[in-house]
Amino acid sequence: MHSETVAGLIAGLRARKYSATELAQGLLERIQRAQPELNAFISIEAEAALAAAAAADRALASGSAPPLTGVPIAHKDIFCATDSRTTCGSKMLANFISPYDATVVARLRAAGAVVLGKTNMDEFAMGSSNETSYFGPVRNPWDRTRVPGGSSGGSAAAVAARLVPAATATDTGGSIRQPAALCGVTGIKPTYGRVSRYGIVAFASSLDQAGIIARTAEDAAILLRSMAGFDERDSTSVDAAVPDYVAGLERPLNGLRIGLLKEFFDQGLDPAVEACLRSGLEVLRNQGATLREVSLPNLPLSVPTYYVVAPAECSSNLARFDGVRFGHRCEDPRDLKDLYERSRGEGFGAEVKRRIMTGTYVLSAGYYDAYYLKAQRVRQLIASDFARAFGEVDVLIGPTTPTTAFEIGAKMNDPVTMYLNDIYTIGANLAGLPAISIPCGFVTGLPVGLQIVGAHFAEERILNVAHRYQRETDWHERAPEAYR
């Protein structure tokens, strides 16, 4: 059962090949066995999961079950949920239990999904390797000496190791797509505003977006169909009709116009990764797609732009964690200033402190115009470049990451080098565009990801392209030997 996709599990459960309880029990046992070596989970919710699975079995027996009834999933530990801790991978929230469910959590629960636990992540989603978590680093199932990517590394590792068929995740600068690429699974970041952010602990509010990590594009489409849609509780949610993503998967690719991002094929791209990508493009060309080079001249500015905008918003959002209302509180504060300083100093890790300080600096008097305002102007130029490109092509394709997974600890002392791991993913966040990463090969036994970027609200199209690619390849079916 652990090797089944979401689509396969839905069919198996409804055909009564196995029960939701048997499925949940089997995966919970796999999670417990893998946890010491992968550290993919922060919380394992066995009792609640088995109760939900039993309820799913009753619903299936009644013949009136919602679409995801009995399907086991995990949530990235940044989604608030009433029945489990929401830690954000931080000491600051190590014991926090939310009084409400995030919209994504509530919608998947209503659709019948069974939640097995909360996955490990970089602290407050700040990181590219899942090494900044207060609960320790996550390890890549393909090579446990290497990182799984971040910040949604726990979700990606759990799916790759067949511990769950799918998991929720968030993407602020590539945090769904980058770990999906490094772990050899499929990860989609929808258009900004397509999926509600209500109940997601905020990092950078104008960039954060919830999405899915799964084995296949079909599975991502199934889950996204239940997650997407307008939410009046989220002021950034867009009131737009949600198409049936699954119905559009089989659309032929004849006449599809693919743009190859010139700026992505630069000197920083590993030649072996590029070779995998070029082979993947031939698969799409053989299905009737046409390829042409497209240039986005301002795209190389995406990394410096992001690392002004994101820390600025982080500085504002994390100001609420002060030791007064909730979260970590220092022992025996002398006065209010001491309470603030020690609570935040003890509660936040080094990377979070670095970004708070950077953000506070760029927002301060005398520097706002020089840094933050200028970064927002460049952000608009990048968005305009994408808009022009989509006047000429239907989708843009390039690598997801410049290299395969690197060793744990290799870049922790060099923040700039670490930040450059997101060089190919950040642009889509700055422009609010949907993007998906799918497996397209291996280099020395480690997975490589191919990234497809679409115009606003073109999730249906990029899922279609990803699915048609996966119909012709088997990279997404491969599993790490230790977890088959």
> Is the peptide bond preceding residue 151 cis, with omega within 30 degrees of 0?
yes
Answer whether residue 331 shows pLDDT above 80. Answer: yes
pLDDT number for residue 455: 98
pLDDT digits (tens, 9 = 90+) for 395-453: 999 999 999 999 999 999 888 889 888 999 999 999 999 999 999 999 999 999 999 99
Averaged pLDDT score across all residues of the chain: 97
The span from the CA of 182 to the CA of 267, in Å, is 20
The span from the CA of 214 to the CA of 165, in Å, is 6
Say whether 167 sits in a helix, a strand or coil: strand
Q: In what order do the strands lie in the sheet with 41-44?
A: 41-44, 114-119, 72-76, 166-171, 209-214, 186-189, 435-443, 446-454, 395-399, 257-261, 290-294
Strand 41-44 relative to strand 114-119: parallel, antiparallel, unpaired?
antiparallel
Q: What percent of the chain has pLDDT over 70?
A: 100
pLDDT number for residue 420: 86
User: In this structure, what token pair is assigned to residue 448?
Assistant: 């490589």
pLDDT number for residue 153: 98
Answer whether residue 216 shows pLDDT above 80. Answer: yes
DSSP alpha helices (H): ranges in 213-335?
Answer: 217-227, 271-285, 302-317
The one catalytic residue in 151, 196, 237, 302 is: 151
pLDDT number for residue 416: 85
Fold (CATH) for 6-252+457-483? Amidase signature (AS) enzymes (3.90.1300)
Query: Cβ(435)–Cβ(395) under 8 Å?
Result: no
The span from the CA of 263 to the CA of 180, in Å, is 22
CA diameter of the chain:
70
337 is catalytic: no
The one catalytic residue in 129, 133, 155, 175 is: 175
DSSP string, 443-464: ETTEEEEEEEEESTT-HHHHHH
175 is catalytic: yes
Answer whether residue 242 shows pLDDT above 90. Answer: yes
pLDDT digits (tens, 9 = 90+) for 446-483: 999 999 999 999 999 999 999 999 999 999 999 999 99
Give the residue among 349, 402, 405, 479 at the shortest CA–CA distance from 139: 405
Q: Taking the model in full, what pTM does it have?
A: 0.97
Give the residue among 441, 463, 453 at the shortest CA–CA distance from 280: 441
User: In this structure, what token pair is assigned to residue 458?
Assistant: 């073109």
In the predicted model, what is the mean pLDDT of residues 296-322? 96
pLDDT digits (tens, 9 = 90+) for 157-174: 999 999 999 999 999 999
Q: In terms of C-beta density within 10 A (0-12 exposed, 13-18 middle, 19 or more buried), how is residue 113 classed?
A: buried
pLDDT digits (tens, 9 = 90+) for 53-110: 999 999 999 988 999 999 999 999 999 999 899 999 999 999 999 999 999 999 999 9
Answer whether residue 267 shows pLDDT above 80. Answer: no
The one catalytic residue in 19, 76, 118, 411 is: 76
pLDDT number for residue 415: 87
The span from the CA of 219 to the CA of 217, in Å, is 5
pLDDT digits (tens, 9 = 90+) for 345-379: 999 999 999 999 999 999 998 899 999 999 999 99
pLDDT band at 323 (very low <50, low <70, confident <90, very high): very high
CB atoms within 10 A of CB 78: 31
Cα four-point dihedral sign 138, 141, 143, 149: negative
DSSP 96: -
pLDDT number for residue 64: 86
Parse the chain into domains and list their residue ranges.
6-252+457-483, 300-378
| H or E, element range at 344 | helix 336-347
151 is catalytic: yes
Q: In terms of C-beta density within 10 A (0-12 exposed, 13-18 middle, 19 or more buried), how is residue 212 classed?
A: buried
Answer whether residue 266 shows pLDDT above 80. Answer: no
In the predicted model, what is the mean pLDDT of residues 36-61? 98
Beta bridge partners of 438: 450
